[in-house]
Amino acid sequence: MPATLFVVATPLGHLGDLSHRAIETLRQVPVVAAEDTRRIRGLLTHLDAHPPQVLSFHAHSPERRQAVLLELLAEGKDVALVTDAGTPGVSDPGPSLVAAARDAGHVIVPIPGPSAVTVALSASGLPADRYLFLGCLPRKGRERERLLQQAADAAWTVVLFESPHRLGALLTDLVSLAGAERVVVVARELTKLHEEFRSGTLGELAPYYEESPPRGEITVVLAGRGDVPEPTLDVVDVTSRAAGLLATGLTRKEVVQRLIAEMGLPRNEAYRIVTALP
C-alpha cells in the first residue's frame, strides 16, 4: 500500500480545538513535517505523541527537504504535515509537497480543523457566502499595489493577514483606495486568551492602529464594495493604454498586469490585447 501524507490542521491557540482525528494521527505517524519543530514538539508532548522523526518543512526549506519527505513516503512511512497554527497550505507551506506526493502516487488525507480565515469570517458579521482571500501582502512594490487595488475593488468580502506593526499602514493605504467609509473588522489573537474583534470604518480604525499598534496575530476582514456595475471598457482606449505602457519599456507580461490592475480587465482579455500589438 502506498504511504499516506496527512495534512493536519492544528489549533490557532486554544488546544481544545484540536480534533480527535488530528490527535490520533499525530500519535500514530512515524514522521511529522513541521513549520517550526520547536513549537510542534510542545504540542506533541502535550498529546503524549512521540513520532520517531520530526523534520522541519517551511517556506524557506531547501528543495532537498521536500525530496527527503518524498523518499520517506516512498519507503512506506506515513507523514503528517503541520504548520505553526491552522491549516497547512492556507498561506503556509504545503502545496508543493502535496502536489509532489500525489504525483508520486501517495494518498493525501486532509485532517480538517482550524483556519484563521474561516474563524475570522464567522465572527466578522460580514457576508461570507463568497469571499476573496489575499493572504499576506508584500511589504512594498507593484505586487502590493495591485493586491491592495484588488481588495478595494472586490465586490465580495476580502480577508488578509498582516503583521501587527504594519496594520496601521495597511488600513491607511486602503482608506485612499476603498474610501474612509468602507467597513473593516480586525481580528486579533484568534481563540487565544486576548482574542479581540474590533469593527468600524477604515476612517476610524486606520488612525487608531497607527497610534496604537496591536500585538499578536492579525486577520483583517474588509467589506466588499457591493453590487457596483462594472464600467464598460472601450477596446480602443485599452489598446492605446497598452501601447503606451509598452513604449515606456515595460515587458508584455508587466503590461498585462497593469491593465488588469488599472482597468479590471480579465487576464485572458488583457493578454489577447497585448499580444496583438506589434
More confident residue, 93 or 252: 252
Regarding predicted confidence, which is higher, 276 or 104? 104
Superfamily of domain 117-222: Tetrapyrrole methylase, C-terminal domain (3.30.950.10)
Contacts of 84 (CB under 8 A, 6+ apart): 10, 35, 36, 39, 40, 92
- pLDDT above 90 as % of the chain: 77
Are the beta carbons of 110 and 17 closer than 8 angstroms? no
**This prediction's pTM:** 0.78
The pLDDT-based confidence of 232 (bands split at 50, 70, 90) is low
The overall longest dimension of the chain from CA atoms, in Å, is 67
Residue 233's pLDDT band, with cuts at 50, 70 and 90, is low
Give all strands (DSSP E) within 88-178, no chain letters: 107-111, 131-136, 157-162
Round the average pLDDT of the chain to a whole number and report it.
92
Amino acid 92: pLDDT: 77
Residue 43 pLDDT > 50, yes or no?
A: yes
d(CA 269, CA 231): 15
- What CATH fold (topology level) applies to the domain 4-114? Cobalt-precorrin-4 Transmethylase; domain 1 (3.40.1010)
Q: Three-class SS of residue 133?
A: strand
Q: Are strands 131-136 and 107-111 parallel, antiparallel or unpaired?
A: unpaired
44 pLDDT exceeds 60?
yes
* Distance in angstroms (rounded) separating the CA atoms of residues 158 and 139: 18
